[in-house]
């Protein structure tokens, strides 16, 4: 199995999950180790996998690695919305050109591909409070990040239909768990609080996300690999919709801080108000059930992980906050 982006948050957890629950796979990781990649996330399995440092846009390298694999799981991407608003160019390159490069290699060598994508491709469910995305919802991305992910999904669909590539796509909601970069909402707040600094809420904090534990996401990817129908997309989400303010209040409670002790900072431009996914297809067709339906329990475990693993997140913290200071958030 070739795992692109396997030194990032979800990819590294996927590698751990695969070795633990699907030991029949021999795993090779391709990762460029950008600011978001960290080989130390793979340290616990270092002797059991092969790690290749390289760019998913490097067609020769990708061709060679795909040829030597039976299955490709494609996580590599630029993943952070705020960064995409600041400088979209690496997003177009990695997310669009990188997926094209992977698709061409799996086409040449007739390999099974699973493409990992996001619910953000469907855009904003808005303020009316109703409705959920389904697999047939219209693509309507808001940010440069989600637009490049939408483009990558459409490339996959076209390669399935026109070239018979054996691929599936998943569109998952917001993940949380160990090894998530400190730029993202949950780890940014948890590490701020651990350092005795205020949590930072964009705008009013009314934006709603469907928080999903990374292990539940990765279990779904394995189900899709094993039993998903070629050419199909599957939505993944825990059902646990919460506003950012609610998640923050829960974190403050779990970390014994007074409620409401956070700073409001200027909002993200174009900020989507609500995402929510209808995961009936994944549940009924493939029998997926989240192991962490309870956000409180999942977050408590995650807070404990960040408390115990400062060695992992501390080096990136100041750099990340410096970037947010520049963005005014």
Q: Which two tokens stand for residue 90?
A: 């690496």
Which among ligand NAD, ligand DAU, none contacts residue 209 (Cβ within 5 to 8 A by kind)? ligand DAU
- Considering only residues 162 through 181, tell me which ones interact with ligand NAD, judged by CB under 6 A: 172, 174-175, 181
- In the set 31, 55, 104, 119, the catalytic residue is 119
CA 305 to chain centre: 18
Task: Give the residue with the Cβ less far from ligand DAU, 40 or 200.
Answer: 200
Crossing angle between the packed helical segments 295-308 and 185-194, to the nearest 10 degrees: 50
* DSSP designation for 76: -
Shortest distance in whole angstroms from residue 208 CB to ligand DAU: 8
Largest CA distance in the chain: 58
Does the protein bind ligand NAD through residue 142 (CB under 6 A)?
no
Task: Give the residue with the Cβ less far from ligand DAU, 25 or 234.
Answer: 234
Shortest distance in whole angstroms from residue 196 CB to ligand NAD: 26
* DSSP designation for 97: I
- Name 129's bridge partners: none
Q: Which two tokens stand for residue 235?
A: 């939505």
Q: Determine if residue 161 is left, alpha or beta; phi over 0 gives left, psi from -120 to 50 gives alpha, anything else beta.
A: alpha
Compute the distance between CA of residue 49 and CA of residue 29 in angstroms, rounded to an integer. 7
Binding site for ligand DAU (CB under 6 A): 79-81, 118-120, 173-174, 184-185, 188, 200-202, 207, 209, 244, 268, 275
Shortest distance in whole angstroms from residue 233 CB to ligand DAU: 14
Give catalytic residue positions. Answer: 119-120, 145
Instruction: Please report, as ranges, the residues that interact with ligand NAD according to CB under 6 A.
Output: 5, 7-11, 31-34, 36-37, 55-57, 75-79, 94, 98, 116-118, 149, 172, 174-175, 181
């Amino acid at each position: 199995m070739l795992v692109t982006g396997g030194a990032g948050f979800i990819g590294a957890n996927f590698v751990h999950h695969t070795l633990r629950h699907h030991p029949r796979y021999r795993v090779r990781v391709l990762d460029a180790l950008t600011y978001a990649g960290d080989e130390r996330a793979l340290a616990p399995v270092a002797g059991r996998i092969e790690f290749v440092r390289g760019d998913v846009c490097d067609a020769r390298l990708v061709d060679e690695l795909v040829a030597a694999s039976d299955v490709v799981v494609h996580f590599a991407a630029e993943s952070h919305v705020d960064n995409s608003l600041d400088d979209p160019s690496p997003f177009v390159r990695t997310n669009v050109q990188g997926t094209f490069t992977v698709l061409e290699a799996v086409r040449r060598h007739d390999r099974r591909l699973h493409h990992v994508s996001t619910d953000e491709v469907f855009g904003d469910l808005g303020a009316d409070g109703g409705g959920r995305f389904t697999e047939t919802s219209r693509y309507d991305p808001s940010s440069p990040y989600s637009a490049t992910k939408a483009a990558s999904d459409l490339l996959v669909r076209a390669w399935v239909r026109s070239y018979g590539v054996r691929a599936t796509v998943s569109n998952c909601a917001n993940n949380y768990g160990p090894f998530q970069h400190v730029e993202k909402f949950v780890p940014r707040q948890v590490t701020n609080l651990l350092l005795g600094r205020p949590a930072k809420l964009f705008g009013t904090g009314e934006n709603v996300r469907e928080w999903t534990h990374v292990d539940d996401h990765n279990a779904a990817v394995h189900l899709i690999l094993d039993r998903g129908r070629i050419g199909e997309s599957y939505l993944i989400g825990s059902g646990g919709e919460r506003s950012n303010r609610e998640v923050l209040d829960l974190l403050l409670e779990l970390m014994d801080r007074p409620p409401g002790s956070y700073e409001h900072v200027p909002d993200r431009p174009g900020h989507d108000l609500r995402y929510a996914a209808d995961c009936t297809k994944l549940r009924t067709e493939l029998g997926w059930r989240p192991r962490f339906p309870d956000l409180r329990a999942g977050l408590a475990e995650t807070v404990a992980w960040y408390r115990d693993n400062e060695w992992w997140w501390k080096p990136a913290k100041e750099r990340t906050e410096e970037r947010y200071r520049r963005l005014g958030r």
